[in-house]
Amino acid sequence: MITRTDLFNHTKTLVRHFIVPTIVKSTIWAFAGGIVFCFAGAMVYWFGLASLLNGTALVLRLLVALVIIGIYVVLGIIAGLVLGGASALHRKLPEAQDGIHAVLSPLTNRIIQRIPIGQTGIPLNTFSATVDKTIASVISESSQRGKLFSVVNWIASRVFHRLLSIFRRILLLDFIRSVEASGQTNINVQTLEQFARERLIQLVIKELRLKLYAFSRVTAIATAGCLLVPVLVIAGSIIL
């Protein structure tokens, strides 16, 4: 039987192929974001706070300028990392189908092995308990850990637990809902195998795409708000 270590290794392979390469793009975007936001922070200080601090000690003015610009630079780096990474991952999601299947297919097989063979199957509430027990058993299994901290291992761990969470939600909501819609009260092996073969991976990818879209959209709105501040400050200084 495939172990948690095997599943985790599949996840690390997925990370190396589809997530680690996005670090390059995220880094470029973070660098560009830091530069743009540095300029924006300088504008906020120069056209806004500088006039308010006119006549105060030079040290105080420099300190305020460094704080404002520093905050903007950090925000720009974070925005660049998020937007760059989300953009790269969004494009690569369709290519990740085989890797996600390699991680989730053994989990589905574990659940199938707990369902009696035949048309009767098991009740819906029993199936829910079976899914939770299977996922809990996978999480509780010991896994191999490197002696040194590994960025890939850390990312893979986050991805692995996220995939387990999405896997559980889809089976307990989407799959059970589809079974109930067909008028069935039990779940058999054939029904689960058909769902896993035809819809499971597509639903997982859709869920990941929606989460990336929501996260990047919130970040984009926050970024636009931060960049709007220096525009308003400059406009206010011109009007006044």
User: Domain residues for 87?
Assistant: 4-239
Query: What pLDDT is recorded for position 98?
Result: 81
Whether pLDDT at 152 is above 70: no
Whether pLDDT at 52 is above 90: no
Q: How many domains does the chain have?
A: 1
Question: In whole angstroms, what is the distance from residue 44 CA to residue 76 CA?
Answer: 14
Whether pLDDT at 142 is above 60: no
Residue 70's contacts (CB-CB under 8 Å, 6 or more residues apart) are: 41
- Percentage above 90 pLDDT, the chain: 25
Q: Tokens 């095997």 map to which residue?
A: 6
Work out the pLDDT band at 119, boundaries 50, 70, 90: low
Question: In whole angstroms, what is the distance from residue 146 CA to residue 153 CA?
Answer: 8
Whether pLDDT at 151 is above 70: no
Residue 51 burial class via C-beta count within 10 angstroms: exposed 0-12, middle 13-18, buried 19 and up: exposed
Amino acid identity, residue 53?
A: L
Whether pLDDT at 136 is above 50: yes
Work out the pLDDT band at 3, boundaries 50, 70, 90: low
Query: What pLDDT is recorded for position 18?
Result: 73
Instruction: Report the predicted TM-score, pTM, of the whole model to 2 decimal places.
Output: 0.74
Q: Tokens 């660049």 map to which residue?
A: 80
